[in-house]
């Protein structure tokens, strides 16, 4: 259902307040040809109302001839900033970049953050943004769970469908997504509300079974029949199942890169305002599926790049796979049990 500009301006004001944007700060709104016009318009109005110095940087799209999908996460790594030194200089000089284009997994994003800049990604439809406007409580919930994850050395995930997989932890940082950027060098995503990390190289091992109703992204489809992944020494070595398994294998093979099968980030959702069923209510080109990524009690794992965590894999294929009804344990302590958050861990 459409939302009013007034509502979305108020939402942006809350996000900017939580991000500490005050008068005189420089905010650059990064856009491209598929940026939502209302999201852009209201972001600019809200930043101006805060007294910020506001720029808009519009860049031409890339990857259209190589990506198999219009989803911005279907082909990652190369962005309109690649080789664009003038544009990069403006973003590095900004206090906050509102990314309405999608810079994920790019070297330029890391360069901006290393320079002390902040980047907030916001590409979901306005009504999804409005439903999941971030709060200080979202941050508290994510940071409380992060303390538990940071201390853990093994994640063990099981399910009644047959999942039984282990990830050794400790070599990579924690990804804490709560929807706003409250310190220099921080990247975040509105909407969000989840926690993730990357397993130590070569350690992920076991079996992951997608059950009916689990989700594949960027395919943005619910699985109808079980899909079984064999994981050995940090890589998916076999995919078995019905039609979805065959299509997924064909999609991954099209990149002609062995690194697409590497296990990337692993974690769980903490956002109670995210809903599993929302994906089925949208056209595939209208959303990138953040509800399923952040939905409270999910298990989210992925394949492909780890460069955003300081690793060396920059493969263009990134598959996110949110799952329901899993038990996620850290060093033997459940933080999610059968798809429900375990409250005593602080979530």
Q: How far is residue 315 from each of residues 63, 174, 256, 304, 305, measured CA to CA in Å?
A: 14, 21, 10, 6, 5
Is the domain of 115 the same as that of 148?
no
| 61: its two tokens | 């799209």
**pLDDT tens track for 62-99:** 877 777 787 777 777 788 899 999 999 999 999 999 99
Provide the pLDDT for residue 344.
61
Among 131, 165, 195, give the residue marking a domain's end. 131
Provide the pLDDT for residue 328.
98
**pLDDT tens track for 208-239:** 999 999 999 999 999 999 999 999 999 999 99
**pTM higher than the cut 0.85:** yes
Using the predicted structure, report yes or no on whether residue 309 has a pLDDT greater than 80.
Answer: yes
Is the domain of 83 the same as that of 187?
no
Pick the closest to residue 233 from 273, 275, 203, 277 (CA basis): 203
**CA 217 to CA 322: how far, in whole Å?**
8
Number of domains in the chain: 2
User: What's the mean pLDDT in 262-283?
Assistant: 96
Is the domain of 216 the same as that of 194?
yes
Among 114, 131, 148, give the residue marking a domain's end. 131
Is the domain of 208 the same as that of 327?
yes
Q: What's the CATH number where 74 sits? A: 3.40.50.2300
Is the domain of 214 the same as that of 121?
no
Provide the pLDDT for residue 347.
38
Is the domain of 78 the same as that of 107?
yes
Among 131, 162, 187, give the residue marking a domain's end. 131
Using the predicted structure, report yes or no on whether residue 40 has a pLDDT greater than 50.
Answer: yes
- Host domain of residue 30: 5-131
Is the domain of 11 the same as that of 58?
yes
Is the domain of 77 the same as that of 92?
yes
DSSP reduced 3-state for 118: coil
Provide the pLDDT for residue 311.
85
Q: How far is residue 34 from each of residues 22, 60, 64, 76, 265, measured CA to CA in Å?
A: 29, 10, 12, 16, 27
**CA 239 to CA 6: how far, in whole Å?**
48
Is the domain of 80 the same as that of 159?
no
Provide the pLDDT for residue 153.
98
299 C-beta neighbours (distance < 10 Å), count: 26
Is the domain of 183 the same as that of 304?
yes
Is the domain of 120 the same as that of 147?
no
Is the domain of 109 the same as that of 180?
no
Q: Which phi and psi angles does 214 have, rounded to 5°?
A: -70, 170
- Who wins on pLDDT, 174 or 74? 174
């Amino acid at each position: 259902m459409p939302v009013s500009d007034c509502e979305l301006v108020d939402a942006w004001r809350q996000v900017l307040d939580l991000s500490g944007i005050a008068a005189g700060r420089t905010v650059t709104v990064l856009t491209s040809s598929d940026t939502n016009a209302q999201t852009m318009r209201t972001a600019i109005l809200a930043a101006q109302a805060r007294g910020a110095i506001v720029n808009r940087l519009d860049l031409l799209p890339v990857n259209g001839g190589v990506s198999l999908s219009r989803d911005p996460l279907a082909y990652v790594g190369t962005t309109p900033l690649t080789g664009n030194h003038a544009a990069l200089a403006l973003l590095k000089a900004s206090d906050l970049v509102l990314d309405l284009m999608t810079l994920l997994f790019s070297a330029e994003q890391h360069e901006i953050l290393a320079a002390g800049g902040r980047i907030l990604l916001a590409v979901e439809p306005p009504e999804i943004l409005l439903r999941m406007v971030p709060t200080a409580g979202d941050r508290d919930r994510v940071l409380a769970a992060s303390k538990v994850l940071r201390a853990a050395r093994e994640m063990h995930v099981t399910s009644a469908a047959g999942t039984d997989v282990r990830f050794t932890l400790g070599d990579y940082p924690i990804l804490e997504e709560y929807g706003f950027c409250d310190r220099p060098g921080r990247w975040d995503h509105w909407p969000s509300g989840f926690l993730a990390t990357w397993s130590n190289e070569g350690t992920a091992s076991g079996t992951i079974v997608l059950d009916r109703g689990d989700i594949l992204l960027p395919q943005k489809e619910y699985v109808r029949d079980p899909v079984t992944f064999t994981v050995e020494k940090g890589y998916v070595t076999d995919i078995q199942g019905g039609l979805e398994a065959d299509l997924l294998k064909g999609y991954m093979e099209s990149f002609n890169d062995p690194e697409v099968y590497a296990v990337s980030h692993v974690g769980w959702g903490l956002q109670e305002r995210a809903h599993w069923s929302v994906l089925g209510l949208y056209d595939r080109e209208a959303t990138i599926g953040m509800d399923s990524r952040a939905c409270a009690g999910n298990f989210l794992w992925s394949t492909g790049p780890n460069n955003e965590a300081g690793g060396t894999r920059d493969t263009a294929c990134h598959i996110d796979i949110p799952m329901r009804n899993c038990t996620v344990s850290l060093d033997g302590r459940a933080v999610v049990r059968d798809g429900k958050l375990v409250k005593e861990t602080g979530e």
